[in-house]
Structure 1
Amino acid sequence: MNMNVSFGGLELKNPVMTASGTFGFGLEFAPYGDLEKLGGLVAKGISLKPREGNPMPRIAETPCGMLNAIGIQNPGVESFVRQALPALKSKDVAVVANLYACDAEEFGELAAVLAGEEGVAALEVNVSCPNVKEGGIAFGQDPAQIGKVTEAVKKRAGDKHVMVKLSPNVTDIVVCARAAAEGGADSLSLINTLSGMAVDIHCRKPRIANVIAGLSGPAIKPVALRCVHQVVQAVDIPVVGIGGIASAEDALEFILVGAHAVQIGTANFLRPDFAFGLAEEMEKLLKKVGASSLEQFRGSLELPL
């Protein structure tokens, strides 16, 4: 069965991608499997300048998931281009750079740096970060800001595919999706983490130094699936599903509601080799459920009248 996926000029050999922040720059996971078995590799978030990230502790296990408040720790875009990207270029896998910035202009600058890099197939725009010029509110909670950031990146991204990653921490994710689409996004990825927290009753302190953190893992899959379903119905650009995928069945649920591809996140911490064999497992399962092709299965959910 042909598992190739193509959308908005982005070519993937299969619909399995890794989620930013869960797979390093990809090279760290090379001992656990062949990177070329992935459809796409989304690198950890990068910013114009290096970032130290948040104070420890910044990861906590929760029932059916985990909380994290890493704070986009990264060496900066120049280091990424100089050190990680050359090694990734030799791999037959689509590399997606995840962008982090604190205002629209900075997002544009970051896109411009990567626009001419041959080894970058696409740019994923993280709109869950705070806009320092607008009082710290997250871009992703304001449709107008989502549109502005998308336009800034698209304007300076050259011929790179621009994917906007949406936050579920909003009243209506459809409004946000439409804003990104109108801003020129080639595709959308969703969802990012849900806001959450955990506390320790013995020492009476938060389990995360940042107090509030991002919840991911199987616990958020129903929310992610609902968001993907709603957005697919509302916009005409492709959608990549993210959230709690821990099996081939999970992944195909997102394809069934209309996603073109999926990203694997928290499962990479539990099983570092998980993503490498997922496309093959999805293909087997597609045959088992009687699907003639990935394309035929996509969006074939039968809704009640």
Structure 2
Amino acid sequence: MVTAAAVDLSVDLAGARLANPIMTASGCAANGPELHRFIDVAQLGAFVTKSVKANPQSGRGTPRMAETDSGMLNSIGLQGPGINAFIEKDLPWLRSVGARVIVSIAGSTAAEFATVTRSLVAAEAFDCVAAIEVNISCPNVANRGLVFACAPESSRQVISLVRAEAPHSVPLFAKLTPDVTDIVEIADAALDAGAHGLTMINTLLGIGIDTERLRPHLAGVTGGLSGPAIRPVAVRAIWQVHAAMRAGRLPLAPILGVGGVRTGTDALELVAAGASAIQVGTAIFNDPTAPIRVRDQVADLIAGHGFTRFTDVVGIAHERTA
């Protein structure tokens, strides 16, 4: 009988070798110190930072968050201090506690993504960066034209510019939106432009109405829907892209699965669909220990199925269709 302790959770994500496949999701644990009060962030496979832009940004107006029946809407708007403050304060702190870091980057223009990457690579603490996540899909912006992942051409442009600035030894993961007609087409453009892998999915665009005041809950009107409600959408997107990889329509590449993961069972669903690693996001808001708990539950579940390696379960559902 296989025990959880015997399960090898290590993963190799296009050259980023991690002790286990569980990460935070960008924007759900700030840049480390806040979550470190509850868990040792160095025990995660990787800590994914809040998306960082070139310059300080105040974000969108308040109220910015609203609960839904099965998740939440947020309209933060990529608030942050900018790349210079990040590399002077946040990244050195993450390195000091031994965290493996995936830096999420964002921009209002394709050129801004390149600028942020250039500054990041020059940072003294860059050696703790395991990968770069290119957030081309944030819905929390006033101008929907800035959601680069809604079109193959703009996805390709951003990834190409980032690829030119980043060391080839550091994997790039393009974060995709499900709010498109054909996510396989977008994945193909990102991978063709130089992405080593994909993060799927970002939040879905939604609106909540306050039925007492008969007006939107959020000052920005629209927001990103996250939480358990979106997990079936994440499973679908991961399934479609991984199936395209298996069929030879896309190159084989790791997928970081994210969307509504609260438990090890939730995580295993995404893994069986084709995710090579898992990000835990909204669950952290009510249980800061969720990433560690999910990691341990995944090990228990894999052992219960008789497997000794996490990687043996990646995409397994594709082999077991009726």
Given the two structures, how large is their TM-score scaled by the length of structure 2? 0.91
**Cα distance in 2, alignment partners of residues 137 and 77 from structure 1:** 19
Gaps of 5+ in 1: none
Pairwise mapping of residues 31-42 of structure 1 onto structure 2 (< 5 A)? 31-42=37-48
Counterpart of 2:287, as a letter, is R
Separation of aligned partners in 2, 1:279 and 1:203: 42
> What's the counterpart of residue 98 of structure 1?
104
**TM-superposition CA deviations, 1:14-35 (whole Å, max 9, x none):** 0001000101001111111111
**Is the counterpart of residue 155 in structure 1 residue 171 in structure 2?**
no
Q: Describe the superposition over 1:106-150 as per-residue Cα deviations: whole angstroms up to 9, x where unpaired.
A: 1111111112322222111111258x9x98352111111101111
For 1:129 and 1:243, how far apart are their aligned partners in 2?
Answer: 14
RCO greater where, 1 or 2, for CA within 8 Å and sep 6 or more? 2
1:241 paired with 2:253, answer no
- RMSD across aligned C-alpha pairs, in angstroms? 1.6
Paired with 2:258 and 2:283, the residues of 1 have a C-alpha distance of 11
Quote the offset at 1:238 in angstroms: 0.9
When structure 1 is superposed on structure 2, of 273-282 and 180-189 the one drifting more is 273-282
Tell me the residue number matched to 2:135: 126
Aligned length: 303
State the distance in 2 between where 1:137 and 1:272 align: 31
Confirm or deny that 1:140 pairs with 2:157.
no
The answer as to whether partners of 1:101 and 1:129 remain within 8 angstroms in 2 is no
How far off its partner does 1:211 sit?
A: 0.3
* One-letter code aligned to 2:112: E
What pairs up with 1:263-278 in 2 under 5 angstroms? 263-278=279-294
Separation in 2, partners of 1:204, 1:241:
36
When residues 285 and 111 of structure 1 are mapped into structure 2, their CA distance, relative to the original with a 3 A threshold, is same
C-alpha change, 1:289 and 1:129, in structure 2 (3 Å) is: closer
Structure 2: unaligned runs, 5 residues or longer: 1-6, 245-249
> Which residue number in structure 1 is paired with residue 11 of structure 2?
5
In structure 1, distance between residues paired with 2:29 and 2:69: 22
Moved more, 227-236 or 182-191: 227-236
Structure 1 consecutive aligned stretches of length 4 or more whose deviation exceeds 4 Å: none
CA distance in 2, matches of 1:287, 1:136: 46
Cα distance in structure 2, aligned partners of 1:97 and 1:218: 25
Shift of residue 160 of structure 1? 2.1
The question of whether the paired residues in 1 share the 8 Å contact of 2:109 and 2:146 is answered with: no
Q: Is 1:200 matched up with 2:217?
A: no
> Equivalent residue for 2:52?
46
Alignment partner, residue 304 of structure 1? 321
Map 1:206-245 → 2, pairs under 5 A: 206-234=216-244, 235=250, 236-245=252-261
Q: 2:32 aligns with which of 13, 26, 31?
A: 26
For residues 35 and 129 of structure 1, what CA distance do their matches in structure 2 show? 24
Q: TM-score, normalized by length of structure 1?
A: 0.96
1:141-178 Cα deviation digits (max 9, x unpaired): 11111011111001101232111000011011110000
User: Share of identical aligned residues, percent?
Assistant: 39
Amino acid in structure 2 at the alignment position of 1:240 = L
- Indicate the SS of the match to 2:72: strand
Q: 1:280 aligns with which of 282, 296, 305?
A: 296
Q: Are the aligned partners of 1:245 and 1:265 in contact in 2 as well (CA < 8 Å)?
A: yes
